[in-house]
Amino acid sequence: MGLIELKKERYFLHLLFTTSKNQVQALFYTLTPQQAKALCEIIYNLNKLPVPPTTTHLLLMQRKLIKQLTDKKLSLNRKLHLLQNHYRQVYEVLLSVDKKILRLLS
Domain boundaries, the chain: 3-105
Q: What is the pLDDT of residue 58?
A: 80
Q: What is the pLDDT of residue 87?
A: 92
Question: Rounded distance, CA 76 to CA 98, Å?
Answer: 23
Task: Answer yes or no: is pLDDT of 35 > 80.
Answer: yes
pTM for the whole structure: 0.86
Q: Pick the residue with more confidence: 5 or 71?
A: 71
Kindly indicate the confidence band of residue 1, based on its pLDDT and cuts at 50, 70 and 90: low
| pLDDT (average), residues 43-69 | 82
Look over the chain and give the mean of its residue pLDDT values, rounded to a whole number: 86
Output phi, psi for 42, to 5 deg.
Answer: -65, -45
Please give the DSSP secondary-structure letter assigned to residue 74. Answer: S
